């Protein structure tokens, strides 16, 4: 049975900004139990004026986008530029544990001078800045948008409208990828600072750059260059073949053959076992050499199937494949429905409240409740209430003596914390990596009979394969220690048991129930250490009809709705090729685990954290589901166009491979663009 209090209950968060990133970071902290107060200036958060709207009328109180990101928060109105508003902002910050600063125009509602005064009154304050390019460096003052930060972070160069043509126009994945990922990373950093405060009583300032976050989730793009001097290009058939979105008689599927066994099973499904006998098709290297010719053969064969017919034969054979789900498909999905994933959010329409379906939590805690679903606040609804309740924080108590630990860095937020990382490839290692970044001792455990697959994937140093030479493995396992243990050997099994007994956090991304089958269920881990936080990352969660289905990031990308919403107008769906659900699941695992550990370190006991890659992916791609909830249909694929900005796209410059991302946010931007183009008259063009 769950304990009574969410892990962050009692913490106060002041959301001091008007960006999607600020709102989502606040949403995560609210879900974990913090009291989140949203400071709103002027006419309120711009999300109030972003559709889709319940009832079809552009009513700021009926915005499903605002309601999704701000449910159960409290709203305080303040003219942040005026004297009274500045005073109110300082007063609230002096009473907060965390302040999130992130604005669309790059200004700070709580200026640095004011923040310095607040920190003198409230030395335990943690301040998180989220901006396109960070608060330091030559680009600190540059404006940004999702399109621009995806371009600056390198993602757009890896994702084109034609996956097999590297010279094709770069294509933005649907949604606000950079904003949601930056928010999740900011939340991890804030929780790390709160852990540090447990030791020394002091807060700190955190600077999150969306560009840097994007650059950190590019799969093997960075090591391809640093290890081999190869400038990465869109994957297409140049990395794994086949790997593509294929048309069936009644829809689309994504299929890929990551390993040779997948290819051998796929050709059986397609009724062409002779293809497995062709020498050139026998290895992925040969299939990559065959290029589009092979992909065309596979496409022609799959075109004869219905979607259900293909999946019915391919899934049981272990072929990595998935339906290209629409948002409508998600809302009717049996697995998600059985797990109760979608939550009911309340927004105001006229004089009455209306509930609508929205994506639920990106994580689950099994011993600790998360914050209850709630209504989105009206503008300034809680101003008087919050001002009366939020008394300034007193000076922090004297910190306890620092714990001793091997190689402990006293300045590190998680010094003295031990994490046992039983995961492999990407999602799990990426989550564990966040603990290593924050100073925890992370011990990666592998079996000598099944080393981490990423050791084989490469790229390898100097082009020479070797278990310690993979840039992919080294990138996502930096700062960890390594142990190789064979669970079939009684002595080595006992060594793992002893190690787990000392762990504060255990992370695995084995298939559902596999760790328990190996003798290390959550109940067993609690016997070893009652305060342990056990994190399980699976494709579809630990319950529901699809719980045992094998998941790859690319398949989750197809299932979560991203591929169906990404693509050019009138064109087919386009998957990202970057397996973004993996780092997304990993970072949300870190968020939930850090929150659970925060409670455990204060005597609240451990917890079991469950991450479904599919649910976490849907949580950061809400717009399609919200369109269906409000309008009964999802938006059409729009390429690089944006519903709020124009011109908005990626344009070819003089060089053959030179592209520039342009996002015009308002009339001022358009006037500047027209001047740059030498066409100032465009601003007066009635078109």
Which residues are tagged catalytic?
Answer: 582
Cα distance between residue 11 and residue 255, in whole Å: 45
417 in Cβ contact with 432 (< 8 Å): no
Cα distance between residue 582 and residue 229, in whole Å: 25
3-state secondary structure (DSSP) of residue 245: strand
Cα distance between residue 106 and residue 109, in whole Å: 10
Integer angstrom CA distances of residue 520 from 349, 365, 466, 494, 513: 50, 18, 30, 12, 10
Q: What backbone phi and psi angles, to 5 degrees, belong to 268?
A: -65, -45
Q: Which residues contact 570 (CB under 8 A, 6 or more apart)?
A: 637
State how beta strands 35-40 and 12-17 pair.
Answer: parallel
Residue showing tokens 């540090």: 196
Cα torsion 212, 213, 214, 217: sign: positive
State the DSSP H helix or E strand holding residue 343, giving kind and residue range, or none if neither: strand 343-349
Cα distance between residue 15 and residue 98, in whole Å: 8
Cis ω before 52 (30° cut-off from 0):
yes
Cα distance between residue 206 and residue 193, in whole Å: 8
Cα distance between residue 604 and residue 601, in whole Å: 7
Burial environment of residue 142 by CB neighbours within 10 A (0 to 12, 13 to 18, 19 or more): middle
3-state secondary structure (DSSP) of residue 317: helix
Radius of gyration of the chain (CA): 25
424 in Cβ contact with 509 (< 8 Å): yes
Length of the chain equals: 687
Minimal CA–CA distance to 148: which of 659, 557, 618, 580? 659
Q: How many other β-carbons are positioned within 10 Å of the β-carbon of residue 252?
A: 21
344 in Cβ contact with 373 (< 8 Å): yes
Cα distance between residue 21 and residue 182, in whole Å: 6
Point out which residues pair with 348 in neighbouring strands: 353
131 in Cβ contact with 102 (< 8 Å): yes
Cα distance between residue 125 and residue 137, in whole Å: 25
Helix axes 112-121, 83-94, angle to 10 degrees: 40
């Amino acid at each position: 049975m769950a304990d009574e209090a969410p892990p962050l209950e009692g913490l106060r968060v002041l959301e001091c900004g008007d960006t999607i990133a600020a709102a989502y970071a606040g949403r995560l902290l609210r879900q974990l139990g913090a009291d989140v107060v949203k400071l709103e200036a002027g006419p309120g958060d711009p999300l109030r004026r972003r559709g889709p709207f319940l009832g079809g009328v552009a009513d700021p109180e009926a915005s499903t986008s605002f309601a999704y990101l701000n449910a159960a928060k409290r709203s305080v109105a303040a003219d942040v530029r005026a004297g009274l508003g500045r005073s109110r902002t300082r007063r609230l910050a002096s009473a907060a544990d965390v302040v999130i600063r992130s604005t669309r125009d790059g200004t700070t509602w709580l200026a640095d001078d004011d923040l310095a005064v607040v920190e003198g009154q409230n030395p335990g304050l943690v301040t998180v800045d989220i901006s396109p390019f960070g608060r330091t460096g030559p680009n600190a003052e540059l404006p940004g948008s999702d399109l621009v930060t995806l371009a600056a972070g390198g993602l757009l160069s890896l994702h084109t409208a034609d996956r097999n043509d590297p010279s094709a126009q770069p294509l933005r994945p649907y949604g606000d990828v950079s904003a949601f990922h930056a928010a999740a990373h900011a939340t991890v950093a804030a929780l790390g600072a709160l852990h540090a405060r447990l030791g020394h009583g002091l807060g700190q300032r955190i600077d999150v750059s969306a560009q840097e976050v994007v650059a950190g989730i590019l799969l093997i793009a960075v090591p391809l260059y640093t290890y081999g001097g190869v400038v990465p290009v869109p994957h297409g058939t140049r990395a794994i073949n086949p790997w593509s979105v294929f048309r069936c008689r009644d829809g689309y599927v994504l299929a890929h053959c990551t390993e040779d066994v997948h290819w051998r099973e796929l050709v059986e499904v397609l009724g062409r076992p002779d293809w497995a006998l062709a020498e050139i098709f026998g290895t992925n290297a040969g299939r990559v050499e065959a290029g589009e010719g092979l992909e065309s053969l596979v496409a022609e064969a799959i075109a004869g199937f219905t979607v259900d017919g293909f999946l019915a034969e391919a899934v049981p054979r272990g072929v990595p494949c998935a339906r290209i789900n629409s948002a409508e498909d998600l809302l009717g999905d049996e697995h998600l429905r059985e797990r109760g994933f979608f939550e009911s959010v309340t927004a105001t329409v006229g004089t009455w409240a209306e509930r609508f379906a929205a994506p639920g939590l990106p994580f689950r805690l099994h011993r600790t409740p998360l914050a209850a679903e709630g209504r989105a606040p009206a503008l300034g609804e809680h101003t008087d209430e919050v001002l009366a309740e939020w008394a300034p924080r007193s000076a922090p108590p004297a910190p306890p003596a620092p714990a001793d630990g091997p190689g402990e860095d006293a300045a590190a937020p998680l010094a003295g914390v031990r994490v046992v990382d039983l995961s492999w490839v990407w999602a799990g290692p990426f989550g564990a990596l966040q603990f290593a970044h924050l100073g925890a001792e992370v011990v990666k455990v592998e079996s000598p009979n099944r080393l981490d697959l990423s050791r084989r994937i490469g790229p390898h140093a100097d082009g020479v394969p070797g278990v310690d030479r993979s840039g992919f493995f080294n990138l996502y396992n930096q700062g960890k220690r390594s142990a190789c243990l064979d669970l079939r050997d009684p002595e080595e099994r006992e060594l793992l048991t002893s190690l787990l007994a000392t762990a504060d956090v255990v992370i695995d991304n084995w298939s559902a129930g596999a760790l328990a089958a190996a003798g290390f269920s959550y109940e067993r881990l609690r016997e070893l250490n009652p305060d342990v936080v056990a994190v399980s990352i699976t494709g579809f969660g630990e319950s529901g009809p699809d719980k045992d289905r094998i998941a790859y990031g690319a398949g989750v990308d197809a299932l979560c709705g991203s591929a169906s919403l990404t693509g050019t107008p009138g064109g087919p769906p386009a998957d990202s090729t970057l397996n973004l659900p993996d780092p997304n699941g990993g970072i949300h695992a870190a968020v939930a685990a850090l929150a659970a550990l925060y409670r455990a370190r204060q005597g609240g006991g451990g917890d079991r954290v469950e991450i479904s890659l599919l649910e976490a992916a849907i949580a950061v791609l809400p717009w399609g589901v919200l369109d269906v909830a409000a309008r009964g249909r999802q938006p059409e694929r729009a390429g690089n166009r944006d519903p709020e900005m124009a011109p908005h796209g990626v344009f070819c410059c003089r060089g053959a491979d030179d592209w520039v991302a342009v996002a015009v946010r308002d009339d001022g931007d358009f006037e500047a663009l027209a001047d740059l183009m030498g066409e100032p008259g465009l601003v007066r063009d009635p078109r």
